[in-house]
A and B are shown apart, each in its own frame.
Chain A
Amino acid sequence: MRLVAAELVESREILPRQWLQSYHAPSLAIGSRAGQFVHVRPGDFSGLVLRRPFSFNTIDAATGVVTIHFRAIGRGTDWFAHLRTGDSVDMLGPLGRPFEVDPRSRHVLLIAGGLGIAGVRMLADEAIGDGRQVVLLFGAGSAAEVYPSNLLPDEVEYIVATDDGSLGHRGYVTDLVTEYEGWADQAFACGPAPMLAALARLAAGRRERLGVARLGRKGGGRTDAPGSAAARRKSFLQVSMEQNMGCAVGACLGCVVMGTSGQPQRVCREGPVFAADELDWEAGW
């Protein structure tokens, strides 16, 4: 975790009100992993007192450029959208825990709902770099909000669902999951809470539906502590969670989600990535 001055090198409105910004931040570009995030300070402290969390969208270690992808939905994100090339912002990062891919996973399924693409986008690069096959299921309201395919690596198989059927499958992105759950060794998702809850329910029933064996040694081996990187690596579904956030370092306890243990889990510290079975999806938190 470091405080870094990052210079805006490119800012593009890639979808209506959605911005993709590239920042030169070499010290964040090395050692940060997919699923982690930065907490970025809007310049105007008199009005905007909180930093804004953004997942690493992509990282180019060679050029030292990290990108973030966000929707301008309020005063803070508007402030970022109005930044100009050459402006500098204060980034705190890398924060949180990354996605954990099992080294044996050949087939990686990414599931993104709307802006949730920002949470899993970088994992596509990492998985392809590691020689895995990647399918990305993407859901949005309509064709106008569909993430541009030219921003994805060519190797990714990109499947789209829209609520109104204006592009791809008509319906929810979760409808597409059953088609790929047998193919996938692991799945990684980010999006609205109801979507993630639906995916968690699907994942919980997957083994029974498919009759597949659990990854890892049958019967034997250690049981990894819930929430540990090793346990997450063995889970089929990992989700990147979102929550209103204060400090982003685990101090304020603002950004919790309820765990199956009955203990609130900090999105900024234990998360933002969780194994789906670590979270209590019925708690209503």
Chain B
Amino acid sequence: MKAGRAASSGKAHATRHRPGRDRRPGPVVEPIGGGPPEVIGRIDLSVELAPGLRLDNPILVASGTFGYGIEYGDVVDVQRLGAICCKGTTLKPRIGNVTPRVTETPAGMLNSIGLQNPGVDAVIERYAPTWAGWQVPVIVNVAGESVEDYVEVARRLDGVPGVAGIELNISCPNVGKGGLQFAIDADAAGAVTAAVRRATDLPLLVKLSPNVADVRPIARAIEKAGADAITAINTLSGIAVRPDRSRPLLGNIYGGLSGPAVKPVALRIVYEVAQVVDIPIVAIGGVSELADALDYFAVGACAVQVGTAVFADPTLPIRIIDGLEAECRRRGFDSFRPLIGTALPRKPGASSAKGVEYRP
């Protein structure tokens, strides 16, 4: 275990966790008939993703599924969310890809929005004043075509009231130069991360692409380059075909697959990354109920993002937060940290190599 800021993260905490050791003596009641004592006080769901980025709870909404936090209006109480990751933001405005841009697939959906956004300056002007009035942190998802793009966007976001952090999208599969080249090469991923790290003191998350042979060297490079946390994963590259089979369905042909269908892939990647980095991991991929979030905690994530499922149920993130609190209470935990890392290999280094890795 490396020293440093990760020591305060949920993951580090969890790896050191021994049952009962972390539990402060709190108000508990012994349930009739045995079982763990139920905690009746406040459950600590907070998690620190970076110095200066402490979330009240570990449930975030994913970039691209929640706009700029205002679109759902009164339907969602955004103040209760752990954090909001806003739509991918680029230096210059982008009009995005031709339509159709979305389609449902078995237990998932494909999207190829193509990073439509009004550009970083317009995002700061239109939305940051609103964010500044919120308690919930807003993490700006940043995309670009070159290192210079990323650095310049980060520089402009630096110090803007209402911007709580940056999530580097080095893995958008839907645009020709969407930064994907940065996500598939460890050196490039490290270089862009380091460049942005030098440009801003904002909390820095970097979002991994699953569209690689082995994500671990990339994750290590990102950690070494100074990222505060890793988000895993972005969508999987895929296509659909028109009902009349005349051509691929999406206007852009390629799209990114999300939803419950990708969860096993994301779970595997979080499991692998958790064994090679010490910085916090924010898991994303098909979370559609509390059990999914618990699975991600078990393989080492200290927070999760809810994405596609928000479309079906905008109130789901809030219900997962409530469910998580109830789960901790039921199991006698006064924080959710004991849930983290429980399915990881006992001995560090034993790693997933102990099982036969399925890599066709």
Query: Contact between B116 and A264 (Cβ–Cβ < 8 Å)?
Result: yes
Query: Contact between B102 and A254 (Cβ–Cβ < 8 Å)?
Result: yes
Which of B92-100, B132-140, B270-278 lines the interface with chain A?
B92-100
Q: Mark A261-285, 1 if CB is under 8 A from B, else 0.
A: 0111000010000000000000011
Given contacts A251-B65, A252-B65, contact A246 B102 (CB under 8 A): yes
Pick 16 A–B contacts, CB within 8 A, sort by A. A1-B75, A3-B315, A45-B288, A46-B260, A46-B288, A49-B312, A51-B312, A244-B103, A246-B65, A246-B102, A247-B310, A251-B68, A252-B64, A254-B113, A285-B98, A285-B99
Query: Contact between B100 and A49 (Cβ–Cβ < 8 Å)?
Result: no
Query: Contact between B314 and A92 (Cβ–Cβ < 8 Å)?
Result: yes
Query: Contact between A49 and B109 (Cβ–Cβ < 8 Å)?
Result: yes
Query: Contact between A2 and B75 (Cβ–Cβ < 8 Å)?
Result: yes
Q: Does B119 touch A at the CB level, under 8 Å?
A: no
Q: Does B74 touch A at the CB level, under 8 Å?
A: yes
Residues of A within 8 A of B (CB): 1-3, 41, 45-51, 76, 90, 92, 243-257, 262-264, 269, 284-285
Query: Contact between B67 and A246 (Cβ–Cβ < 8 Å)?
Result: no
Residues on the B chain within 8 Å of A90, using CB:
313
Residues on the A chain within 8 Å of B108, using CB:
49
Given contacts A46-B260, A262-B95, A264-B96, contact A251 B101 (CB under 8 A): no
Q: Which of A41, A48, A76, A246 contacts B111 (CB 8 A)?
A: A246
Given contacts A251-B66, A254-B113, A262-B95, contact A47 B101 (CB under 8 A): no
Given contacts A49-B107, A251-B65, contact A1 B73 (CB under 8 A): yes
Cα distance A45–B259 in the bound complex, in angstroms: 10
Residues on the A chain within 8 Å of B106, using CB:
47
Query: Contact between A247 and B251 (Cβ–Cβ < 8 Å)?
Result: no
Q: Mark B255-299, 1 if CB is under 8 A from A, else 0.
A: 000011000000000000000000000000000100000000000
- Chain B: CB-nearest residue to A256: B99
Query: Contact between B67 and A255 (Cβ–Cβ < 8 Å)?
Result: no
Query: Contact between A45 and B309 (Cβ–Cβ < 8 Å)?
Result: yes
Least CB distance from B244 to A in Å reads 12
Q: Which of B95, B107, B288, B311 contacts A247 (CB 8 A)?
A: B311
Cα distance A246–B106 in the bound complex, in angstroms: 15
Query: Contact between A256 and B312 (Cβ–Cβ < 8 Å)?
Result: no
Query: Contact between B71 and A244 (Cβ–Cβ < 8 Å)?
Result: no
Main secondary structure of the interface of A (DSSP, over half): loop
Residues on the A chain within 8 Å of B313, using CB:
41, 45, 90
- Which interface residue of A2, A48, A247 has the most chain B CB atoms within 10 A? A247
Residues on the B chain within 8 Å of A46, using CB:
107, 260, 288
Q: Which of B75, B104, B116 contacts A49 (CB 8 A)?
A: B104
Q: Does B72 touch A at the CB level, under 8 Å?
A: yes
Cα distance A2–B96 in the bound complex, in angstroms: 29
Q: Which of B99, B104, B314 contacts A50 (CB 8 A)?
A: B104
Q: Does B220 touch A at the CB level, under 8 Å?
A: no
- Chain B: CB-nearest residue to A50: B104
Residues on the B chain within 8 Å of A285, using CB:
98-99, 251
Residues on the A chain within 8 Å of B337, using CB:
none
Query: Contact between A48 and B71 (Cβ–Cβ < 8 Å)?
Result: no
Task: Pick the 3 closest A-B CB pairs, nearest first.
Answer: A251-B67, A254-B102, A251-B71
Residues on the A chain within 8 Å of B102, using CB:
50, 244-246, 252, 254-255
Cα distance A169–B193 in the bound complex, in angstroms: 65
Given contacts A3-B315, A49-B108, A49-B260, contact A244 B75 (CB under 8 A): no
Query: Contact between B311 and A253 (Cβ–Cβ < 8 Å)?
Result: no
Residues on the A chain within 8 Å of B101, using CB:
244, 253-256
Residues on the A chain within 8 Å of B87, using CB:
251, 253
Q: Does B235 touch A at the CB level, under 8 Å?
A: no
Least CB distance from B257 to A in Å reads 11
- Chain B: CB-nearest residue to A246: B102
Residues on the A chain within 8 Å of B312, using CB:
41, 45, 49-51
Residues on the A chain within 8 Å of B98, using CB:
284-285
Least CB distance from A91 to B in Å reads 12
Residues on the B chain within 8 Å of A262, using CB:
95
Residues on the A chain within 8 Å of B57, using CB:
none
